[in-house]
Each structure stands twice: as structure tokens, then as C-alpha cells.
């Protein structure tokens, strides 16, 4: 994996985590419970995907540097 792709994956992972956590904090409208359950699952899954992408990018960056 090139350094460019590894860096992109790391930035994408950080962005996904930031964006979905920010969405979670903005969901305070007093809606029904099902709305919060669905969005909570979406947030959890996307934060997990962001973490995985960040780790893949981190490992790719370390390998590209030779470490």
C-alpha cells in the first residue's frame, strides 16, 4: 500500500469517527425511542468502520516507511 493511500485511509477514518460522533451529540430532539435505536446502531457501526480504516491506514503507513 502506498503512503498516499494509507494517509487517505487514516484521514477518512478520523473524519468518519468525528462526523458520526458529532451527529450523535446533535440528536436531542425528543423523538421516539426507535429513532434513537436506529441511529445509535448506525453511529456504532460507522465508528467501528472508521476505527478499522484508521488502523489499516496506520499499518500501511508503518509498512511503507519500512518500520
Residue 67 in this model has a pLDDT that exceeds 70 = no
- Residue 17, CA atoms < 13 Å, CB-side half-sphere: 14
Does the pLDDT of residue 64 top 70, yes or no?
A: yes
- Mean pLDDT confidence for 36-48: 93
Residue 5 class from Cβ within 10 Å (0-12 exposed, 13-18 middle, 19+ buried)? middle
pLDDT tens profile 2-34: 889 999 999 999 999 999 999 888 887 788 889
d(CA 28, CA 14): 23
Residue with cell 478520523: 14
Amino acid at each position: 500500500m502506498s503512503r498516499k493511500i494509507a494517509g487517505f485511509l487514516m484521514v477518512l477514518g478520523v473524519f468518519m469517527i468525528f462526523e458520526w460522533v458529532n451527529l450523535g451529540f446533535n440528536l436531542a430532539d425528543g423523538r421516539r425511542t426507535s429513532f434513537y435505536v436506529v441511529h445509535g446502531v448506525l453511529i456504532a457501526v460507522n465508528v467501528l468502520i472508521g476505527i478499522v480504516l484508521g488502523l489499516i491506514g496506520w499499518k500501511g503507513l508503518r509498512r511503507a516507511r519500512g518500520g
